[in-house]
Amino acid sequence: MTLRLPLSNEKKFATLVSAYAPTITYHDDIKDKFYEDLNNTIGATPTPDKLIILGDFNARVGCDSAVWKGVIGKHGIGKCNSNGLLLFQTDFERDLLITNTVFHLPIRKMTSWMHPRSKHWHLIDYIIIRK
């Protein structure tokens, strides 16, 4: 879902995108289609717009800010998974930043999902902006 909002009387806009990505258990074709649609949505957003993508990406991006410099900050958590790599690819190609990883927060305020078996908390919901 996409919503374009005026920011001021100077003809500036913010485009908000709400996304829900398939989980890691879905077939690769379904995940590829999701990221293709997301890429098309980003591409259709006017460049001057402030772009804010809010979503449950069912992806773990980890904390390797040296490898993904400019895409994640220094405060990611855990390890990256295959869905995280798909998200990284899109974010890198589109010059996007995963803002959740930029700010230092306590783990309990940063994570959004607990694995049912391991009971470990993970960050899978992200706020992503165009730099």
pLDDT average, residue stretch 83-107: 95
Quick: pLDDT tens for 65-80: 999 999 999 999 999 9
Q: Residue 87's closest CA among 102, 99, 100, 71?
A: 71
At 15, the pLDDT band (50, 70, 90 cuts) reads very high
Quick: pLDDT tens for 25-66: 999 999 999 999 999 999 999 999 999 999 999 999 999 999
Model pTM?
0.93
* Chain centroid, CA 99 distance in Å: 8
Q: Residue 131's closest CA among 90, 104, 99?
A: 99
